[in-house]
Structure 1
Amino acid sequence: MIDIPSPQTTAAAFEDHYARPAAGVWSAPGRVNLIGEHTDYNDGLVFPFAIERRTWAAVAPREDRIIRVRSGAMPDAAEISLDELDPANFEDWSAYVFGVFWAMRERGVSLDGRTGFDILLTSDVPLGAGLSSSAAIECAVAVAVNDLWELGLSRRELIYVCQLAENGAVGAPTGNMDQTASLMGEDGHAVLIDVEAETAVPVPVHFGDEGLSLLVIDTRVHHSHATGGYGERRASCELGARLMGVPTLRKLTEADLERAAEVLDDVTFRRVRHIVTENARVARTAQVVQEEGPHRIGDLLVASHASMRDDFEISCPELDLAVETALAAGAVGARMTGGGFGGAAIALVDESKAAEVSDDVDKAFAAAGYGAPHVFIVTPSQGARRDA
């Protein structure tokens, strides 16, 4: 286990494990979604940003066709041949790595004549917290392989590779928000993603300029997108679109909700209403943060959480308590972030109140008999890159 991951400690750990130096170290960040939940796989709008917490991949080519990977957080190595790439052969966390190679092949990268790699991963992105630790792994590996194999793939193509790895190899039915944020993030900016239009526009958010901090409240209630609830929500969205006669819910606006209430059963209607209103909130948030400043987006964050809690039903008592406590302590706005069923909430707070909000959340969790949350500040940061 590596206490403080960095390019230097990752490179040193690689040499310790493999008895030779790495050819380089690449990294990709986790992400926080400021607003826009479950809209990405509905061809909608999302507004995440990359964070300073990252996954590093130290990599060196091999002379054979074996991919061998170790993680600073896992005791055992995993390996597979380039000739055996099949999701049925991937086990546990290694699917995030091997899935990238499989997805590259599926999207047309020839593996003929290619040699494999030794890979060592370290990370300070919390696992299962809704901060996209999985996409950080996929994107760090993808940019490293793109460089070392000299593939010349664009960032857009790498997004699709990593999304396919998540969907087809890991089995999580997600959209590509996480991969887009991790690959396209910029310091001081969120990324306004229009999935249907395939655009990702950096938008300055001015948190620091306005004396604001964004707190992440990791409830430590872990979740997995490869299981139950996430897939059920996606299926409900697809059913709603089909019954409304549109290819995706992106084609609906708030003006369509009256008809939707007549056509759909109550549960499907509420799922659809969340997506339609969330798209509108994302567009409004991106506009307000630029024209009026981040102090004015609080109500939009709160409305987003209420929609996820009541209509999409993906919150949990710990997330609700985190949001309610942060708001009572003076947060500008707060909401759960990520796919739900656990994970993290965010709270936009004045810098002077950050410690007070954190303390109040700790006390509220203790009073409720919940495990202690992990509260920390994040800042919009750079996307995937080569570090060494």
Structure 2
Amino acid sequence: MTLPTSAEGVTESRRARSVGIGRAHAKAILLGEHAVVYGAPALALPIPQLTVTASAGWSSHAPDSQGDLSYTMTGSPSRAMVTQASDGLRRLTAEFKARMGITGGPHLDVILDGAIPHGRGLGSSAASSRAIAFALADLVGRKLTESTAFDLVQTSENMAHGRASGVDAKAVGASRPLLFRAGRTEPLKLGCDGLFIVADSGEMGSTREAVELLRAGFRSRPGAQEAFVRTATELTEAARQDLADGRAKELGTRLTEYHELLRAAGLSTDRIEALVDAALSAGSLGAKITGGGLGGCLIALAQPEQAREVTRRLHEAGAVQTWVVPLKGLDNHAP
């Protein structure tokens, strides 16, 4: 099951709209960053309160030097961010048209309005791509399957980040926490009622840079890749079982241990370390980087009675934004 989008349920015979709408949401990786690219499992958490909405419509404008597509992001994105996003959108749109057998057509205007901060490891690029894919489908009156949506998002993600594992493309449309392994997903069993607190460090990370840094480290140290993937797999599998069995304290320990694995690989920053220390000293059961690293966000596990203090201490340590994701509020009826 996925969160609703305006394109779901649209029949092939339905007339195309003048404006198409698509939506998606943020995600956080609980464990499995980087190792998932090498076949290890990853655990992903949807963040439904952080959403992005795409609007797509036909325009009377004539094609310009940029072709037959105009792309606008609300807020104050950097020029580099807009350029990168535009390149990915053009690739996604071309692939969408090819899959749907659409040729020609008037100028297309796409507006993206979202609350997901960019470059923080929260899946903003994947969520944007998914929202746009469903907006395009809604615009032309086509039904977009989850399989096709995934392929379209991956087209854009591979362009933005290099080799994308696919976990973001899956998680930004999921309504419950997921286990992701080798391109396949299954819902996680949830036996815990704790809260995940996501804190924005205010530092932009770079997944591509982090991947290249890690890969360079693997090349320089024989056996390092195998050791990293083995440890990551063990921690992720143990965390999956802890989550299912309601062992919150043990789950928190796995989070912190995975953070140490990423920190040892050079993927943390002074700001992230300060946030980890603040969360743990405030009583958090565990804390770690979430996402590619080199900036971005931290995720901490806390019991409900600890959440207020953990959040306060995170802001004191430099967090610019925080979000609380209660496990109880997600669909925890996985088989």
TM-score norm. by structure 2 comes to 0.81
Q: Residues 235 and 379 of structure 1: is their aligned pair in 2 closer, same or farther, counting only changes over 3 Å?
A: farther
1:51–1:379 Cα contact (<8 Å) kept: no
Alignment pair present for 1:97 and 2:89:
yes
Tell me, in whole angstroms, the C-alpha distance in 1 between the residues paired with 2:255 and 2:305.
20
Q: Does structure 1 residue 36 correspond to structure 2 residue 32? A: yes
Instruction: Tell whether 2:170 aligns with 1:180.
Output: yes
CA distance in 2, matches of 1:56, 1:279: 34
For 2:321, which of 363, 374, 381 is the aligned residue? 374
- Determine the structure 1 residue equivalent to 2:46: 50
Q: Which residue identity is paired with 2:296?
A: G
Residue 56 of structure 2 is matched in structure 1 by 59
Query: What is the deviation of 1:76?
Result: 11
Give 1:305's match in structure 2, choosing from 259, 267, 290.
259
1:225 — aligned with what?
Answer: 207
**In structure 2, C-alpha distance between the alignment counterparts of 1:44 and 1:147, rounded to whole Å:** 35
Rounded Cα–Cα distance in structure 2 between residues aligned with 1:74 and 1:329: 34
Q: Residue 96 of structure 1 contacts residue 134 of structure 1 at CA under 8 Å; is this kept in 2?
A: no
Residue 271 to residue 217, structure 1, CA distance change in 2 (3 Å): farther
Q: Distance in 2 between matches of 1:319 and 1:271?
A: 24
The answer to whether structure 1 residue 283 and structure 2 residue 230 are counterparts is: no
Q: What is the rounded CA distance, in whole Å, between the counterparts of 2:261 and 2:228 in structure 1? A: 6
Match of 1:352 among 298, 305, 310: 305
Deviation at 1:294? Answer: 3.7
**Runs of 5+ unmatched residues, structure 2:** 6-16
- Which deviations, in whole Å up to 9, do the C-alpha atoms of 1:267-299 show, x marking residues without a partner? x53343222211222222222211234443111
- 1:162, distance to aligned residue in structure 2 (A): 1.2
CA–CA distance in structure 2, aligned partners of residues 285 and 316 of structure 1: 24
C-alpha displacement of 1:42:
1.3
Residue pair 1:159, 1:179 contacting (<8 A) in 2 also = yes
Separation in structure 1 between the aligned mates of residue 27 and residue 164 of structure 2, nearest angstrom: 15
Shift of 1:33: 0.8
d(CA) in 1 for partners of 2:59 and 2:217? 45
Deviation at 1:206, TM superposition (A): 5.1
Look up the SS of the partner of 1:314 in the other structure.
coil
Match of 2:147, SS state, is: helix
- Go from structure 1 to structure 2 and tell me whether the alpha carbon gap of 1:350 and 1:159 turns closer, same or farther (over 3 Å shift): same
Stretches of structure 1 that go unaligned for 5 or more consecutive residues are 1-6, 8-20, 78-89, 240-264, 366-371, 384-388
Deviation at 1:113, TM superposition (A): 4.2
Cα deviation, 1:286-334, whole Å, max 9, x if unaligned, reads 2221123444311111110011111x22111111221122112111111
The alpha-carbon deviation at position 236 of structure 1 amounts to 5.4
Structure 1 counterpart SS, 2:313: helix
Question: In structure 2, which of residues 172, 180, 188 is the aligned counterpart of residue 203 of structure 1?
Answer: 188
Give the 3 Å change call, closer, same or farther, for CA 22–355 of structure 1 in structure 2: farther
Q: Out of 140, 146, 149, which is 1:158 matched to?
A: 149
1:131 equivalent to 2:122? Answer yes
Query: Offset of 1:150 from its aligned partner?
Result: 4.8
Secondary structure of 2:43's counterpart equals strand
Is the CA contact (8 Å cut-off) linking 2:73 and 2:113 kept in structure 1?
Answer: yes
Note if contact 1:160-1:176 (Cα within 8 Å) is conserved in structure 2. Answer: no
Trace 1:136-147 onto structure 2 (pairs within 5 A). Answer: 136-147=127-138
Which residue, 243, 246, 270 being the options, matches 1:317?
Answer: 270
Counterpart of 1:327, as a letter, is L
Residue from 287, 292, 296 that aligns with 1:343: 296
Cα deviation for residue 34 of structure 1 reads 1.1
> Are 1:68 and 1:118, in contact at CA under 8 Å, matched by a contact in 2?
yes
Matched-pair contact (CA < 8 Å) for 1:129–1:223: yes
Asked if 1:362 corresponds to 2:315, the answer is yes
Structure 1 position 204, deviation (Å): 4.0
Counterpart-to-counterpart distance in 1, 2:284 and 2:92: 39
RMSD: 3.0
Q: Compute the displacement of 1:349 (Å).
A: 0.7
C-alpha distance in structure 1 between counterparts of 2:180 and 2:77, whole Å: 37
Say if 1:31 and 1:50, in contact at 8 Å, map to a contact too. Answer: yes
State the partner residue of 1:331.
284
Question: Where does residue 73 of structure 1 map in the other structure?
Answer: 75
- Give the 3 Å change call, closer, same or farther, for CA 76–40 of structure 1 in structure 2: closer
Seq. identity, %: 22
- Three-state SS of the structure 1 residue aligned to 2:293 is coil
Tell whether 2:148 aligns with 1:192.
no
State the number of aligned residues: 307
TM-score by length of 1: 0.70
User: CA–CA distance in 1 between the matches of 2:23 and 2:325?
Assistant: 17
Q: d(CA) in 2 for partners of 1:295 and 1:25?
A: 42
Counterpart CA distance in 1 for 2:125 and 2:77 is 18
